[in-house]
Amino acid sequence: MEKIVALCKRRGFIFQSSEIYGGLNGAWDYGPLGVELKRNLKDYWWRCMTQVRDDIVGFDGSILMNAAVWKASGHVDTFSDPMVECLLTKKRYRADQIEPQSGTAYYFSGIHLRKITSVSLPFQTHENVPAIERIALPFSVLVPKGKPEESARKIARQFYIGRGHVEADIVSLDLEKSEPLENTKLFNPENGAQLSEPKVFNLMFKTYVGATEDESSITYLRPETAQAMFVQFKNVLEVARKKLPFGIAQIGKAFRNEINPRNFTFRSREFEQMEVEFFVKPGTGPEWLEKWKEDRLAWYEAIGIPRAKIHVLTVPDADRAFYSQGTYDLEYEFPFGIQELEGIAHRGNYDLTQHAKASGKPLEYFDEEAKQKYLPEVVEPSAGVDRTVLALLCEAFAEETVKDEESGKEETRTVLRFAPRMAPVKAGIFPLLKNKPELVAKARAVQKMLQPLMKVAYDEAGSIGKRYRRIDEEGTPFGITIDFETLEGAKTAFTSVMGTQVEAGQTDTVTLRHRDSMKQERIAIADLPGYLLAAVS
Ligand code: GAP
């Protein structure tokens, strides 16, 4: 992961938000290459959902919504994680993410403090008399088996000092008892200090709408994009003129005040989702859940994440979200573990029922054939944009020992093997030498020809080998080199990739270099648009 994070910064994929001010935990900025990668991913999802099939329509809802939406959806009351706080450092953790530990627990009941008391004597004089005061304040520490009691005392001392007591005044600690513990989750794995009782912590970011900051102006940044699609179900249904089953698709930002943002962009506080709410006839939800699972698995393969790297988890009843009747998690083998990329949930008619009840507005669908009104069931494939970008980066990253294409010396090549349709830049365009105006002019002409069709990058700096290495690290699948053969004519006759016959001596051919195999071939400039478009679309 460290190598991937470093590459992301070096090449301009992802930067820490507000970096020059020390960053903001859980927020990330996408640089010039990252934004292209992210856009390619979102565009492809959008194309697959709303263009290639005709049973899903697009939608773009607002981030701020009436607070009643979040009350009705259940998010105000139940969208929360149990949180514990380290009594020593005040850092907060998700209670369910604390790793069980074993060791010896030391229970302190308080401290004895040296105190100087001023005693009044006759004739208006005073004397400072030392006294000992006992402060009762329980605190416990877990130390690994075999570590001395002193290490527990050290942590406990820090705790009491943190509560405002001066170190030099602490005479002794009151140790009540010690005992061995197995698999306990009551102590901070980072320092052994006692954790607080779990408290429920709502993950929604609260804000105020308008100039008055009171209860009536509270709303929340949306924690999922889904709710706007439920709330607007009736409006969309009327204008889309669709029959069930049909879906609404949306890509947009969501915000969650995660207790522990971690693993680079994996768990962020601001992120993007790609969600479909797919409305189906009552009783058919389970069957659609299976269909969507297969559809989505195929989609990940199409963006370059192999089926073998995706694990399908049937989420156990106890772990499902409050709205779900059945959920599959599609998980990817990240370097930090197998973790969720997308959730596919059978939400039943939970959301439409809740909003119909809370708003008093009917949200039923009228089935013309059955001449019946009912609330449809919903199957929801919900993918994370940032997590999928991270999976694409992890999947693409490779380091290999290769022979330098110019010197023939062995060296380490870092390469991002993105599927061409995801690659931020599709082709690098290189004049062999920058001080030959004819080569530069031809390279610029090739660039102009390709620019309206796809993202290409012109580069004339450094040796051609260095330029190839640079685009390898950026994941660009093709390198196009304009060389002397381009100007002077092909050395031998050949058939260009699209079937064009090139005679010996014919000008306007270039070297096409492939990122993954590093193979080079000759191609007619006229064949470039057709060949590249087919390869990257
Ligand atoms: N509407 C359903 C829903 O929001 P979810 O499983 O909570 O379901 C869906 O979220 C997807 O959104 C996840 O699979 C993940 O890819 C992404 N996601 C959720 N929380 C995230 C976070 N804190 N950071 C980055 N992505 C997140």
Expressed in angstroms and rounded, the spacing between residue 319 Cα and the centre of ligand 1 is: 14
Least reliable range by pLDDT among 58-67, 299-308, 423-432, 487-496: 487-496
Q: Which residue's alpha carbon is nearest to atom 17 within ligand 1?
A: 384
Residue 174 to residue 153: CA distance in whole angstroms: 10
Whether pLDDT at 55 is above 80: yes
- Find the helix packing angle between 385-396 and 2-11, rounded to 10°: 100
Expressed in angstroms and rounded, the spacing between residue 254 Cα and the centre of ligand 1 is: 9
> Among candidates 238, 322, 223, which has minimal Cα distance to 275?
223
- pLDDT tens across 110-160, in order? 999 988 777 677 777 777 777 889 999 999 999 999 899 999 999 999 999
Residue type for position 361: K
Q: Tell me which H or E stretch contains 184.
A: strand 170-184
Expressed in angstroms and rounded, the spacing between residue 383 Cα and the centre of ligand 1 is: 7
Q: Which residue has the higher pLDDT, 399 or 321?
A: 399
CB 203 less than 6 A from any atom of ligand 1:
no
Mutate to test the pocket of ligand 1, among 273, 278, 340, 344 (most ligand atoms within 8 A of CB): 273
Residue 123: predicted pLDDT: 74
- pLDDT tens across 237-259, in order? 999 989 999 999 999 999 999 98
Mutate to test the pocket of ligand 1, among 323, 330, 334, 382 (most ligand atoms within 8 A of CB): 382
| Whole-number percent of the chain with pLDDT over 90 | 86
Counting DSSP H helices and E strands in the chain, the numbers are 14, 28
Contact indicator for 193, 187 with CB cutoff of 8 Å: yes
Looking at every residue in the chain, the average pLDDT score rounds to 94
CB 395 less than 6 A from any atom of ligand 1:
no
Q: What backbone phi and psi angles, to 5 degrees, belong to 217?
A: -100, 5
Residue 192: predicted pLDDT: 96
DSSP string across 469-496 = HHHHHHT--EEEEE-HHHHH--SS-EE-
Kindly state the average pLDDT of the residues 299-311. 97
Kindly state the average pLDDT of the residues 206-228. 94
Residue 63: predicted pLDDT: 97
400 DSSP β-pair partners: 413
CB 224 less than 6 A from any atom of ligand 1:
yes
Residue 297: predicted pLDDT: 97
List the structure tokens of 137: 């304040």
> Among candidates 68, 80, 78, which has minimal Cα distance to 356?
68
Q: Which residue's alpha carbon is nearest to atom 27 within ligand 1?
A: 384
Mutate to test the pocket of ligand 1, among 203, 310, 340 (most ligand atoms within 8 A of CB): 340
- pLDDT tens across 484-502, in order? 999 999 999 999 988 889 9
In ligand 1, which atom is closest to the CA atom of 329? 14
Q: What backbone phi and psi angles, to 5 degrees, belong to 535?
A: -75, -30
| Whole-number percent of the chain with pLDDT over 70 | 99
Residue 261 to residue 273: CA distance in whole angstroms: 17
Q: Which residue's alpha carbon is nearest to atom 6 within ligand 1?
A: 343
* Number of residues written out for the chain: 537
- pLDDT tens across 409-466, in order? 888 999 999 999 999 999 999 999 999 999 999 999 999 999 999 999 999 999 999 9
pLDDT band at 504 (very low <50, low <70, confident <90, very high): very high
Residue 435: predicted pLDDT: 94
Burial (CB count within 10 angstroms: exposed 0-12, middle 13-18, buried 19+), residue 187:
buried
Residue 511 to residue 523: CA distance in whole angstroms: 6
CB 267 less than 6 A from any atom of ligand 1:
yes
DSSP string across 31-69 = -HHHHHHHHHHHHHHHIIIIIS-SSEEE----SB--HHH
List the structure tokens of 74: 């259940």
Whether pLDDT at 109 is above 80: yes
Whether pLDDT at 308 is above 80: yes
